[in-house]
Structure formats: structure tokens, C-alpha cells
Amino acid sequence: MTQTQQMAPQLVAGKVAVITGSTRGIGRGIAEVMGSSGAKVIVTGRAREAVATTISELTALGIETGGVAAELRDEGGPARIIDAAVQKFGRIDVLVCNAGIYPEATIRAMTRAQWSEVIDSNLTSVYGMVHAAAPFLQDQGSGRIILISSITGTLVGYPGHTHYAATKAAMGGFMRAAALEFAPFNVTVNTVAPGSIESPGLTALGLGSLADYAIPMRRLGTPADIGWAVSFLASDYASFVTGHTFVVDGGQVVPEVLGTPA
């Protein structure tokens, strides 16, 4: 039994959760926490082998798991994922839009193609997934939609990531309007905004050390930290929470100046 499973209360027992971009990093952490908290998990990713490996790993932990490899930028990709979830488990209760990319490029050097790739991968994919899931969630009269945003773009900025920051800031506007549309159907819509989380993507940026940050909690976050926040918002305990952003950053955006007291 993993540490996550030892800690996990059954917050989402019996719920079916679709998690995009869940073969690695934050998405993988969300899948393990939600599965350990009782959810049936649908894993998604672009690479078929990565999806199969993740399904195998989660199944070995005793988590009921299915999955599908799909490209969210393709018009039919989101519908394939939702249909696979319904076929596997008969319903959908939670949609977690986590998939995203953040290649580095300054405004001066960025091409239109690079801009469009990030917008389509991070933002248009959210529309696609929510659009595909809407009939199922609204018709059953219950559900949770959780978008994985970031402190970047919503609260802070980072040079070389204007395209990424734009998508994450835009998620807030999408979330608030969607929350109003879905509220009459007893479906909540919220975002989780991670700070600096240990992940392959962070390491690829050369920012994998705590020394690179001013975090009052004096550690980087873990994918499981985001998983716990998502599991709470997906649970019945959060049935009256909609249209809001849950920041999970160890206090990273709080200090007025760099550094914390000894």
C-alpha cells in the first residue's frame, strides 16, 4: 500500500473520474489520489503505451481504471474520451481538465504556430472536453468539472511563457461563465491553481530545486498535493462551491519580498 493510499479518506467513493493528461506529472498524481479515495478512473494521454502503462500501475494499486489514447486538439478526441468512460463505467461524475504544455518562447521569437499549439492544447481542449461531457453531466443532474490552471497567468507571470500564461488566465473566465451555465443542473465548475510542483515539466525548465523559489512552506509541491485539492472539489463536501479558484502553492504568491524569516 502506498503512502497516498494510507492517507486517503474515501472522498469520492464510487464516482467515475475522467482525468486528461494523466499518464505523468500532476495528472498522474491526481489519478492516484482520486483512485485511492474511491473513484473509478479514466486515464488519458496522447501515447497509447503510456496510457496502457498507467492503467497497469493504477490497477496494481487496486484502483478501478480504464483509459483511452486521444489527441485533444483533434475535433473528435474529447468525444472519444467521454464515450470510452461511459462505455467502461456507465456514467461520468467528475471531469478533470489537466492536459497542457508549456514550451518556452519569448514574444519576439514566438511563431504563430507555437502560439496556436499552446492555445489549442491548453485552452481549446478544455472547451472540447466540457462540451463533450455536458450532455451526460447535465442530463444526470449532478457532477463536477475541475480545471487545472496555474498561479502563472492568474496571479503571477513568467518570462517566455506568455502563451501559457494567457491560457491559464483564460481558464478563469471560462470557469466562471461555465459555472453559471451548469449550476441549474447541480454541476459545479472550479479551477485548481498549482504553484511549483515537482514534475518532469518543471525539471525540463531547469527549475527543479527549491532554491529557485521563495516558498514559505519551504518545499516544492507534489502531484499528490494537487490530487487532494481536486478530490475535495470532486466530493460531496464541496457541493456548494462553484465558480472559484483553489490555489495550492505553499504560500508562494503571498510574500511581498523574496525570502522568509528563519
Task: Return the C-alpha torsion angle 8, 10, 13, 16, nearest 10.
Answer: -30
pLDDT above 90 (res 229): yes
pLDDT above 90 (res 240): yes
Q: What is the pLDDT of residue 259?
A: 60
Please enumerate, as own/partner, the contacts of 239-243 that have beta carbons within 8 Å and a separation of 24 or more: 239/188, 241/188, 241/190, 242/179, 242/182, 242/183, 242/188, 242/189, 242/190, 243/175, 243/176, 243/179, 243/180, 243/189, 243/190
The domain locations on the chain are 3-244
pLDDT above 70 (res 44): yes
Task: Return the C-alpha torsion angle 162, 168, 172, 178, nearest 10.
Answer: 120
Q: What is the pLDDT of residue 112?
A: 97
Secondary structure element (H or E) that encloses residue 169, with its range = helix 162-182
Residue type, 237: Y
Q: Which residues are catalytic?
A: 164
Q: Which three cell numbers stand for residue 152?
A: 502563472
User: pLDDT (tens digit, 9 = 90+) per residue, 55-91?
Assistant: 999 999 999 999 999 999 999 999 999 999 999 999 9
Residue with more model confidence, 127 or 207: 127
User: pLDDT (tens digit, 9 = 90+) per residue, 152-205?
Assistant: 999 999 999 999 999 999 999 999 999 999 999 999 999 999 999 987 666 666
User: pLDDT (tens digit, 9 = 90+) per residue, 90-131?
Assistant: 999 999 999 999 999 999 999 999 999 999 999 999 999 999
Q: What is the pLDDT of residue 4?
A: 66
Q: Which residue has the cell 468525444?
A: 79
Q: What is the pLDDT of residue 155?
A: 94
**Which CATH entry fits the domain spanning 3-244: 3.20.20.80, 3.90.190.20, 3.40.50.1950, 3.40.50.720?**
3.40.50.720
